[in-house]
Amino acid sequence: MNWLHWVLFVISLLLITLVMVQESKDDVKNTFSGEKSDLFKNQKQRGSELIMARVTMGVTAAFVIVAILALIL
């Protein structure tokens, strides 16, 4: 394994951690019933939720770029 694979491994662990820390927008009972509440459908992310979402998107982009580079090199 070269250094690029190690970077990919670290980024993947970080991405898994970020996704697990984020709060779910769906309720557990709605998962099994298929029912969704329209009350909070248009609710925007604010504060720490917004920061976590943006950091997750950035780490996801880094993961994709490093994965492509690992395949090419």
Q: What is the pLDDT tens value at each position of the chain, 73 positions in all?
A: 799 999 999 999 999 999 999 877 665 565 566 555 555 566 677 898 899 999 999 999 999 999 999 999 8
Which tokens hold the place of 12?
A: 């993947």
Beta strand residue intervals within 1-73, DSSP E: none
For the chain, which residues make up each domain, given as ranges? 1-20+44-73
Residues 6+ apart with CB under 8 A from 69: 4
pTM: 0.75
pLDDT of residue 44: 75
How many other CB atoms sit within 10 Å of the CB of residue 41? 8
pLDDT of residue 56: 96
Q: How far apart (Å, rounded) are the C-alpha atoms in residues 45 and 15?
A: 19
